[in-house]
Amino acid sequence: MSFRIFALFLCLPFVAEAGLVKREVDFSKYDTPLYVQIVDRIKAKIAPRLGKDPLTHDRYFMIPFAYEDKGNHPEYSHSFLSVIRVFATDKKRKLTKGLPTRGRYGGWDFEAFTISWLPADFMTNPHLCVFDGVGARVFPEKNECPISPGKNFNLQDTITLAVDDKNAVAMWGPYEIAKPGFDLGVKRKRLLDSGSIKYRADDRLYRKDKIAISCFHAMAGLDELYPNGGLFGIGFKMWGFNGTARVLIEYTGKAHYKKLLLDPVDVKKDRYGFVYAPTRNGRVPYDPLQFASAYHR
């Protein structure tokens, strides 16, 4: 009996890989554009938390994201983060300078921004160089990928990139954060927008002099520009869903201690996703998520 249990345990990863583990894909919003699906889910998750009474103080939320392709190739993976401020209803609003998104929903005024760090020309030239050269994955000095001018993309453009590649998209939260956490996010956005730092997917050689930064490090550790993480503490293998999960570990290990993150985090249970399906109620080519909604281009 013990041998049978052990054999079953060994087979479980192969069962999951073969797609035999039950997945739940919701096709009810199949014809709704993915960006709209995501925004609607954010609103539906935040609105009940605001209550029916007037807000006496501003509330702040963050939504971590990731997308990846089948096989989780770094060239087709990305980690990004959206931050939202909901204004108090009984006080004069003081808008944050430079934030691109402002609006009103359900009687609440809000402003929002996204940290999504990519090469500046990525919308027209979506060919990401991550590792190029023999031994580049292990030895950073052997990586021949160039350093590129960077750009902080908004949420809609970032989701467009995911849809174009038919990627799986994951989101966590929304998680409530304290005002100092929101302020750190704004500070990071302004640093990226300043043009003083460039983009490189493998930024191991460029931390000390703050020359270039990856999407992972752009959103990880908002109070520390280059936090460690991943294999050997260098961020290796930290892309796609793994990358954003690592960011949340950083936040719960550090930011929560500093009282910036106000909600508990369960990296696995909190994750919800969106997967590409070529036809309604049909086969999903890549579904790494237990719970997801379907979308098409």
Q: What is the residue extent of each domain of the chain? A: 40-273
Contacts of 127 (CB under 8 A, 6+ apart): 75
Which residues, listed in sequence order, are joined to residue 64 by a DSSP beta bridge? 81
With 0-12 / 13-18 / 19 or more C-beta atoms within 10 angstroms meaning exposed / middle / buried, residue 90 is exposed
Sequence-ordered strand ranges (E) for the chain? 24-26, 59-68, 78-86, 101-105, 108-115, 117-119, 150-152, 168-172, 175-177, 198-199, 212-213, 271-276, 291-295
Peptide bond into 174 cis (omega under 30): yes
Place of tokens 């402002």: 102
pTM over 0.75: yes
Residues of the chain with pLDDT under 50: 1-21, 225-227, 229-235
Tokens representing 134? 């023999």
The per-residue pLDDT for 224 is: 58
The per-residue pLDDT for 237 is: 60
d(CA 245, CA 265): 10
The per-residue pLDDT for 213 is: 87
Which residues, listed in sequence order, are joined to residue 291 by a DSSP beta bridge? 24
The per-residue pLDDT for 23 is: 66
The pLDDT tens digits for 228-262 are: 544 434 445 668 898 888 888 877 777 666 678 89
The pLDDT tens digits for 179-233 are: 998 998 999 999 999 999 999 998 888 876 788 988 888 887 555 544 454 443 4
CA distances from 92 to 25, 49, 278 (A): 43, 22, 48
